[in-house]
Amino acid sequence: MTQASTNGAGRYQADKVRVAIIGVGNCASSFVQGVRYYRGADPAEQVPGLMHVDVGGYHVSDIEFSAAFDIDADKVGKDLSQAIFAGQNNTLKLGDDVPKLGVPVQRGMTHDGLGKYLKEMLEAGCAFVNCIPVFIAREDYWNKRFEKAGVPIIGDDIKSQVGATIVHRALARLFHERGVKLLRTSQLNIGGNMDFYNMLERERLESKKISKTNAVTSIMGHELPADDVYIGPSDYVPWLTDRKWAHIRMEGQAFGDVPLNAELKLEVWDSPNSAGIVIDAVRCCKLALNNGVSGQLDGPSAYLMKSPMHQRPDAQARELTEAFIKRHTRKRTQPSRKKARAQS
């Protein structure tokens, strides 16, 4: 969740991108660490791990954390810099220690799905980035509420930088565009973080499975029978910690009806892979707030999320996102000539 700020000095002498976090888990840990890790990144360089060092005039270092909520007793009451390594969090440590942020983790309500904080967020005039597979941004009812409140939303269900979903999407689209008919496909995922642990409860798995399946099948070019597609989390392996293994299998029909099959294994650290997306999403929301844009942000949602309101091929979604950033880039304040001469 992002909130506009009217004070503070950022990289270009402008306001900060103020962020409140609901759920201080592994992804939040990587996000918080990443803001510090990339604080000195050069916008003129291609920096490993970042899609954008600068988004519309906002550097990574312009992101600051203003609030955090969780229900884990090991995290509540701790400074956010400590809470990101507490409880069941087991992702990698990125670089130096995060200094004390002066942001205590507050006790949130024990809810699954939509809780009271979403309602309060609308009333507070905050933008919202929905990283979890609970469908909000793509739903017309919620989109209208965000538009009425005059605040933007990006969602739903975060799509990792190079994760199982986007790799599977790219391969499915490749088959389609090169004239190979996809007949059957599967994606089996295992991991050792709390996300996988919670999904041992099969009812928690359902929305995640729907989100991942739709993300892939929506850009195939044709429909497959339900029995010929399986895409979803599969099992929990504690010793994998925050690593995720994805096994993707694709069986297609090529020239002369000859079989063409592809199979691969992808291994990633799950949470840093997601944080690389969030770090752009919050800055896109800030641009929308600055420019009075409300409701679902179409390009960024399609590019950064598994289940946006409108599914698009990733190349098209990327073009729309870049156009959104360019269109809403803030103007940098230039010092007057008189002041510039006085400083020289």
User: Is residue 138's pLDDT more than 70?
Assistant: yes
- In the block, residue with structure tokens 């739709």: 214
For residue 11, report the phi and psi dihedrals to the nearest 5 degrees.
Answer: -60, -35
CATH superfamily membership of 165-269? Dihydrodipicolinate Reductase; domain 2 (3.30.360.10)
pLDDT recorded at residue 119: 56
- What gap in Å lies between CA 111 and CA 113, rounded to an integer? 6
pLDDT recorded at residue 202: 74
User: Is residue 129's pLDDT more than 90?
Assistant: yes
Mean pLDDT taken over the chain: 88
Please name which of 298, 299, 290, 296 lies closest in space to residue 328, comparing C-alpha atoms. 290
Please name which of 318, 319, 301 lies closest in space to residue 310, comparing C-alpha atoms. 301
pLDDT recorded at residue 9: 34
Reply yes or no on domain 2-159+272-328 having CATH 3.40.50.720: yes
Which residues of the chain form CATH 3.40.50.720?
A: 2-159+272-328
Contacts of 327 by beta carbon, 8 Å cutoff, 6+ apart: none
Confidence of residue 112 (pLDDT cuts 50, 70, 90): low
Beta strand 54-55 with 58-59 is antiparallel
Which residues of the chain form CATH 3.30.360.10?
A: 165-269
300-312 confidence digits (pLDDT tens):
999 999 999 999 9
pLDDT recorded at residue 213: 87
